[in-house]
Amino acid sequence: MNAQPGSTKHGLAAGMKPTRADWTIDQGWDHYGPAEHATWKVLFERQSRLLPGRACDAFVQGMRDLPIAADQIPDFRRLNEVLLRRTGWQIVAVPGLVPDEVFFEHLANRRFPAGHFIRKPHELDYLEEPDVFHDVFGHVPMLMNPAIADYIQAYGAGGLRAQKLGVLAQLARVYWYTVEFGLVQQKDGLRIYGAGIASSASETLFALDDASPNRVRFDLPRVMRTHYRIDDFQETYFVINDLDELLSLASIDFAPLYAQVQHQPEFVPGQVLPDDVVLNRGTGRYHDTRRGGK
Ligand code: HBI
Ligand code: FE
C-alpha cells in the first residue's frame, strides 16, 4: 500500500511512499533524545497518579508485568519479549496512522502498530495521530490480557471482511466504543479499559468522575449505529460487565447484524434511547457549553 501522493496525513512528507508494504519502520530507539524521554516521563507520571482506582484490574496487572517505567520511552524489543510470551502479540513501529487495510492486516496477525514518535510538549493533552504514549501506555497493557488479545485480533479479521462488505463505519464504532473508550463494571466500581481514556489525563477524569457524559450499558447493534466524536471527549461511554464479554463479541457473525443495522437510523453521540440501560444519565453540560448553548 502506498501513501496517496501529496498526502501528509500518514506522517510522511508529501508524495513519499513507505519503504515497506506493511508500513512498518524501525522504532529507532537510540534516536530518542532527552527531551522526548522527558515528555514520556511527564505523561507517564501524570497517568500513574490518576489510574489507581480508575483503570481496570487487567490494565494495572498488564502494566505491572511489562518493562515500562517513567524514566524512558520503552524499547519495543524489550516489550515484545514479555508480550509475545504472554499472549503472542507483538508491537511493530509505524510512522503514525496507517491505511485501514494495513492496520487490520497487522491486528489480524497479532501485531499492534504503534506510532514511534512522541507528541510535542505543547500537545500534551491532545493530538490527532496516535503516538508512542497513546499506543504503548494505553494499548499494550491491555494486550497482555488474553480476552483483549483475542478480541483485537478478531477485530482485525472482522475489519478486512467489513471493508469488503462496505460496513467499515459500523465496525469502527465498535472498536471506538470498546478498545478506545470502553468502561467496565468491576465489583468495586466503574473502571477504564479503553486506551483513549487511559492515555489521557483529562478524559480519565471526564469519563469516570464528571456528571456530563452518559454511561450506558454496552449493546452491540446499538453501538454499531452510534456516531462518535474524534475531536473531543465522548458524550456517551458504553459499559461492559467484564472483559470476557468482548470475547463473546469476537465469535459473533457480524454479517447478519450489518444487514440489519445498515438501513436503520443512526444516533448522534449524546443521544439516550428508550431501550438503553442507563447507568448514569449525563447532564450534557460539557458539550452544551462547547456548542455555545446554555
Ligand atoms: N493506524 N497506526 C494506526 N492506529 C490506529 O488506531 C488506526 C490506524 N489506521 C486506521 C484506524 N486506526 C481506524 O480508522 C480503523 O480502526 C477503522
Ligand atoms: Fe488507539
Ligand 1 pocket, residue 130 CB under 6 Å:
yes
The number of the ligand 1 atom at minimal distance from the alpha carbon of 180 is: 6
Ligand 1 near 114 CB (within 6 A): no
From the CA of 180, which ligand is nearest? 2
Q: Which helix (H) or strand (E) covers residue 184, if one does?
A: strand 183-186
- Predicted confidence (pLDDT) at residue 62 exceeds the cutoff of 70: yes
pLDDT beyond 50 at 3: no
- In the reported structure, the alpha carbon of residue 97 is separated from the centroid of ligand 1 by a whole-number distance in angstroms of 6
From the CA of 24, the nearest ligand is 1
CA distance 172 to 162: 9
With beta carbons less than 8 A apart as the criterion, state whether 181 and 196 touch.
yes
- Identify the H or E element spanning 150: helix 146-165
Cβ–ligand 1 distance for 98 under 6 Å, the answer yes
Q: Which three cell numbers stand for residue 292?
A: 455555545
3-state secondary structure at position 93: strand
Q: Stretch 117-134: mean pLDDT, rounded?
A: 92
Q: Can you tell me the mean pLDDT for 271-287?
A: 97
Q: How far is the C-alpha of 256 from the C-alpha of 286, rounded, in Å?
A: 37
The answer for residues whose C-beta is within 8 angstroms of residue 208's C-beta and 6 or more apart is 54, 183, 190, 191, 192
The pLDDT tens digits of the residues spanning 205-248 come to 999 999 999 999 999 999 999 999 998 999 999 999 999 999 88
For residue 48, the 8-state DSSP code is H
Best probe residue, ligand 1, of 10, 98, 180 (max atoms within 8 Å of C-beta):
98
**CA 113 to ligand 1: nearest atom:** 2
Q: List pLDDT tens digits, range 185-209.
A: 999 999 999 999 999 999 999 999 9
> Taking Cα atoms as reference points, which of 155, 119, 126 lies closest to residue 251?
155
Mean pLDDT (the chain) is: 92
* Ligand 1 mutation target, pool 103, 180, 228, most atoms within 8 A of CB: 103
The whole-number average pLDDT for the span 110-132 is 93
**pLDDT for 254:** 82
| pLDDT for residue 294 | 53
- pLDDT digits over 64-81, tens only? 999 999 999 999 999 999
Q: Is the CB of 175 under 6 A from ligand 1?
A: yes
pLDDT at 293: 62
Q: Copy the grid coordinates of residue 228.
A: 462518535
Mutate to test the pocket of ligand 1, among 100, 105, 111, 136 (most ligand atoms within 8 A of CB): 100
SS3 for 121? helix
Q: 40 CA distance to ligand 2 centroid (A)?
A: 17
Please give the CATH topology (third level) of the domain spanning 29-290: Phenylalanine Hydroxylase (1.10.800)
113 CB under 6 A from ligand 1? yes
**Among 62, 141, 155, which Cα is nearest to 107's?**
155
- Ligand closest to Cα of 137 equals 2
Ligand 1 centroid to 100 CA: how many Å? 6
Q: State if residue 100 touches ligand 1 by the CB under 6 angstroms criterion.
A: yes
Single pTM value for the model? 0.93
Pick from 265, 126, 113, 149: which is nearest to 199 by CA? Answer: 126
Amino acid at residue number 73 = I
Closest CA to 193 of 169, 172, 218, 171: 218
- Among candidate residues 33, 266, 56, 45, the one with its CA nearest the CA of residue 142: 56
